[in-house]
A and B are shown apart, each in its own frame.
Chain A
Amino acid sequence: QKEVEQDPGPLSVPEGAIVSLNCTYSNSAFQYFMWYRQYSRKGPELLMYTYSSGNKEDGRFTAQVDKSSKYISLFIRDSQPSDSATYLCAMPKSLMNRDDKIIFGKGTRLHILP
C-alpha cells in the first residue's frame, strides 16, 4: 500500500462549482498535511497546511483532515478557470527534524470549464 494515494484525475467541473480533492494515507504518525497547487511548467505553490484533525479555511479554500479515516480533503468554493492546475497533497513523515522526509501524492489534475 502506498503511503499517500491521490486520484490523478483529470477532474473537470463547471465554473462556480464546489470542487473536492482528496488524499488517503496509511501512516497514522502523519501530523501535518499540506496542499500545493502546481500550474503547468511552474513549481508547486503552498496553498495551506493543517495540523492534526479538523478544518482550516483560507478564502475560497478549505482543508479538512479526518485522522480516524486517514483521509484529507481540499474544497474549493466558487471555482474559477484560474484554479485549473494540478493539486498535490503532502505529509512530512514525522515531527522530528531528523530522519524525516516528505511524501507527496501524485497530484490531481483539475480543469474548471468556463
Chain B
Amino acid sequence: KAGVTQTPRYLIKTRGQQVTLSCSPISGHRSVSWYQQTPGQGLQFLFEYFSETQRNKGNFPGRFSGRQFSNSRSEMNVSTLELGDSALYLCASSFGTLYEQYFGPGTRLTVT
C-alpha cells in the first residue's frame, strides 16, 4: 500500500514569508504528526492531529500551526519565516498511537 507522501519535497523561501506544507497519510491512518529535523537539534516533535483535532503539541512557537482535514490529510503552516526555520519537515501517520508511526520523505525548507 502507498506510504506517507509529502509535498513539496523542496522549498526555498525568504525571511518573513509564510509557507504551507502538505502531508497525505497512509490509507486508514487517522493520526498525523509533524516533526522538524535539524543537524543541531535533531528530530523534534511539533504537533499531532487526530480526527481533525490537535491532540498533542511540542514546544514550538505559535508561528507553527497545522490542521487536518476530514480525509486525514494534513497541512502545516509556518508564518513569518526565520533563518532558523530551515530544516527537514517530516510528517508521520499512524492509526492513533505515537509508538507505531510511519514517516514520509520530508520537505526540505530553506529560508534565505
Residues of A whose CB lies within 8 Å of any CB of B are 32, 34, 36, 42-46, 49, 51, 88, 90, 92, 97-107
Chain A neighbourhood of B98, CB < 8 A:
32, 92, 97, 100, 102
Would you give the shortest CB distance from A63 to chain B, in whole angstroms? 12
| Cross-interface CB contact of B56 among A32, A51, A100, A105, cutoff 8 Å | A100
Would you give the shortest CB distance from A33 to chain B, in whole angstroms? 8
28 contacts between A and B (CB under 8 A): A34-B99, A36-B103, A42-B105, A43-B90, A43-B92, A43-B103, A43-B105, A44-B90, A44-B92, A45-B103, A46-B101, A46-B102, A49-B99, A51-B99, A88-B42, A90-B43, A92-B97, A92-B98, A92-B99, A100-B48, A101-B45, A101-B57, A102-B33, A102-B98, A104-B42, A104-B44, A105-B42, A106-B42
Would you give the shortest CB distance from A99 to chain B, in whole angstroms? 7
**Cα of A51 to Cα of B100 in the assembled complex, Å:** 11
Known: A49-B99, A49-B100, A97-B96. A107 touches B106 (CB 8 A): no
- A97 contacts B42, CB within 8 Å? no
Residues of B whose CB lies within 8 Å of any CB of A are 4, 33, 42-45, 48, 50, 55-58, 90, 92, 96-106
Chief secondary structure at chain B's binding surface = strand
Chain A neighbourhood of B103, CB < 8 A:
36, 43-46
